[in-house]
Amino acid sequence: MLQRNTSSHLYGFTDLKSLNERGPLVISYGKGIYVYDTKGNKYLDGNSGLWNQCAGFDHPGLIEVAKKQYEKFAGYHSLFGRLSEETLQLSEKIIEVSPFDQGRVFFCNSGSEANDTMVKMLWMLNARIGKPNTRKIITRINGYHGVTLGASSMTAKPYNKEFGLPSEEFIHIECPHYWKYGLENETEEEFSLRMAKNLEEKIIKEDPETIAGFVAEPVQGAGGCIPPSKSYFDLVQPILKKYNIPFIADEVICGFGRTGNLWGCETYSIKPDIIISSKCLTAGYFPMGAVIVNKEFSDKFVEVSEEAEEFPHGFTAGGHPVGCAIALKAIDVIMNEGLLENVKLMEPYFLERLNEFNDYEHIGETRGIGLMAALEMVKNKDTKEPFEGHLNMGDKVANLSIDNGLICRPLGPAIVLCPQFIITKNQIDEIFDSLHKTIKQVFN
Ligand SMILES: Cc1ncc(COP(=O)(O)O)c(C=O)c1O
């Protein structure tokens, strides 16, 4: 048996009390939607790695493309006007499959970097067109946009207080989660109207001239898998238009199929100006982020960059040829090997089995779309009172679930499931049968 000293690794986003008690789960390899630890135990990974491994952990085509590209051209940057042919091909492909007729793509290594890049683009553009005060970025409570400095300020979660963030140009507005924040006797439509009205009031209060962009995930992912309330985006978009505020869709989780369409924007009829992409863009086989801008924005941005001589920004490994070759293949796999269709096909059964959990005394809400879902635990179902934080109910369920062979993720009081796009009906049964067992064990 392999014994490892794991004290050399610093753990991010990990409940350290649980870790100290249980030790880490050290994974050796993956097959299909399963991973195997170093002791040979098998787990169904109900979280697709981290929402990103959507095509299986061992897709032969993706592995082959990576091998071939390493042999052909193993690495290059995309700065100073030099870039690999795969980088160029991928930018063309992304625009082709994006909601934009024309536009441009900037490559980074992660979703966080893509968000920071987007903020710098907005700031540079506005400063150059004589609007140096148009810098504020609006995001929503429970929105998750990453961990670099700008992205942390955009991520509206309390833990960023640890870093003295958000910085002052980042504004957090309400989260459109009707079940949690709806008022007594307020319908979902009335709730959405209130959210939109409050957004407009906030814009006016801050001064519309100071707002550089509104950034939203079509479905809030790492904030607890929260689909927007009914008509929310239909009501919000005209307000943004009215004040000329760009809509930036953070599609890091939703993009490339998670909600059952290629883009979350399609699912919610969002017309974005800029899209942030990552995760399934490479099916999790390479670190990559992308800022995708529409033609109107890119024309203006190229013009000001020319004026400034350059866009003084870029990452050494951005547009890496191996990553780009993998992404080209991943897009092909998702669109042409039936993965996107499978998300749509499996969605009704996935949600049907999820809904069974509404019968539990301590499950307050089940919610989901496509292949992303959450179960939110409550102490009291009538009042929606949550369990006390120190009880760590999410971690209890997630830890026991691992013991029962299913990896799922605690996000505050919610348990999140986001299986791979290749999942079968039997594997959906496996997930929910296992979760029933775990929930019963925890609450009995
Ligand atoms: C919506 C969203 N945006 C941005 C990010 C940050 O991406 P990364 O972890 O690649 O920096 C994430 C990560 O989960 C995300 O879910």
pLDDT tens track for 265-294:
999 999 999 999 999 999 999 999 999 999
DSSP state of 423: -
Q: Is the CB of 268 under 6 A from ligand 1?
A: no
Take atom 13 of ligand 1 and give the residue whose Cα is closest.
146
379 and 314 together in one domain = no
Residue 357 Cα to ligand 1 midpoint, Å, equals: 28
Domain extent at residue 347: 16-55+338-443
387 and 309 together in one domain = no
DSSP character string of 232-272: HHHHHHHHHHHTTPPEEEE-TTTTTTTTSSS-HHHHTT---
Within a domain: residue 167? yes
Q: Do 73 and 84 contact (CB within 8 A), yes or no?
A: yes
Alpha-carbon distances of 293 from 247, 265, 266, 289, rounded to whole Å:
11, 14, 16, 13
Within a domain: residue 90? yes
Q: Largest alpha-carbon pair distance within the chain?
A: 67
What is the distance between the alpha carbons of residues 228 and 12, in angstroms, rounded to a whole number?
Answer: 28
Query: Domain total for the chain?
Result: 2
Q: Is the CB of 110 under 6 A from ligand 1?
A: yes
Residue 263 Cα to ligand 1 midpoint, Å, equals: 16
Backbone phi and psi for residue 409, each to the nearest 5 degrees, phi listed first: -115, 130
Task: Report the pLDDT value the prediction gives residue 444, as an integer from 0 to 100.
Answer: 85
101 and 185 together in one domain = yes
Give the pTM: 0.98
Pairing verdict, β 136-140 and 211-216: parallel
Q: Which residues contact 352 (CB under 8 A, 6 or more apart)?
A: none
Residue indicated by tokens 């989260």: 175
Q: Is the CB of 111 under 6 A from ligand 1?
A: yes
Task: Report the pLDDT value the prediction gives residue 205, as an integer from 0 to 100.
Answer: 98
Domain boundary among 301, 316, 336: 336
Best of 50, 112, 117 to mutate for ligand 1, by most ligand atoms within 8 A of CB?
A: 112
What is the distance between the alpha carbons of residues 277 and 93, in angstroms, rounded to a whole number?
Answer: 13
**Residue 226, beta-bridge partner list:** 220
Within a domain: residue 10? no
Q: Do 171 and 140 contact (CB within 8 A), yes or no?
A: no
Task: Report the pLDDT value the prediction gives residue 7, as an integer from 0 to 100.
Answer: 79
Instruction: Dump pLDDT digits (tens) for 127-163.
Output: 999 999 999 999 999 999 999 999 999 999 999 999 9
Backbone phi and psi for residue 108, each to the nearest 5 degrees, phi listed first: -135, -165
Task: Report the pLDDT value the prediction gives residue 2, as an integer from 0 to 100.
Answer: 44
Within a domain: residue 2? no
What is the distance between the alpha carbons of residues 279 and 326, in angstroms, rounded to a whole number?
Answer: 12
Beta strands in 283-405 (DSSP E): 289-294, 363-369, 372-377
327 and 359 together in one domain = no
Number of H helices, E strands in the chain: 15, 15
Q: Is the CB of 286 under 6 A from ligand 1?
A: no
Domain boundary among 336, 357, 383: 336
Q: Say which amino acid occupies 63.
A: I
262 and 302 together in one domain = yes
Task: Report the pLDDT value the prediction gives residue 5, as an integer from 0 to 100.
Answer: 52
Q: Is the CB of 146 under 6 A from ligand 1?
A: yes
320 and 385 together in one domain = no
170 and 313 together in one domain = yes
Within a domain: residue 8? no
Domain with 431 in it: what CATH number? 3.90.1150.10
Best of 253, 265, 281 to mutate for ligand 1, by most ligand atoms within 8 A of CB?
A: 253
Residue 169 Cα to ligand 1 midpoint, Å, equals: 20
Counting from 1 in the atom list of ligand 1, the atom nearest the Cα of 287 is: 10
Counting from 1 in the atom list of ligand 1, the atom nearest the Cα of 250 is: 1
Q: Do 415 and 374 contact (CB within 8 A), yes or no?
A: yes
Within a domain: residue 417? yes
Q: Which residues contact 366 (CB under 8 A, 6 or more apart)?
A: 354, 355, 357, 358, 373, 374, 375, 376
299 and 420 together in one domain = no
Within a domain: residue 11? no
Best of 108, 144, 276 to mutate for ligand 1, by most ligand atoms within 8 A of CB?
A: 144
Nearest alpha carbon to residue 265 among 279, 281, 252: 252
Domain with 91 in it: what CATH number? 3.40.640.10
Task: Report the pLDDT value the prediction gives residue 1, as an integer from 0 to 100.
Answer: 38
**Percentage of residues in the chain with pLDDT exceeding 70?**
99
Within a domain: residue 1? no
pLDDT < 70 positions in the chain: 1-6
397 and 316 together in one domain = no
Domain boundary among 295, 310, 336: 336
68 membership: H or E segment, kind and range: helix 60-72
287 and 392 together in one domain = no
Take atom 4 of ligand 1 and give the residue whose Cα is closest.
145
Alpha-carbon distances of 418 from 29, 176, 257, 354, 407, rounded to whole Å:
19, 21, 12, 12, 10
What is the distance between the alpha carbons of residues 9 and 19, in angstroms, rounded to a whole number?
Answer: 12
368 and 328 together in one domain = no
345 and 322 together in one domain = no
Take atom 7 of ligand 1 and give the residue whose Cα is closest.
111
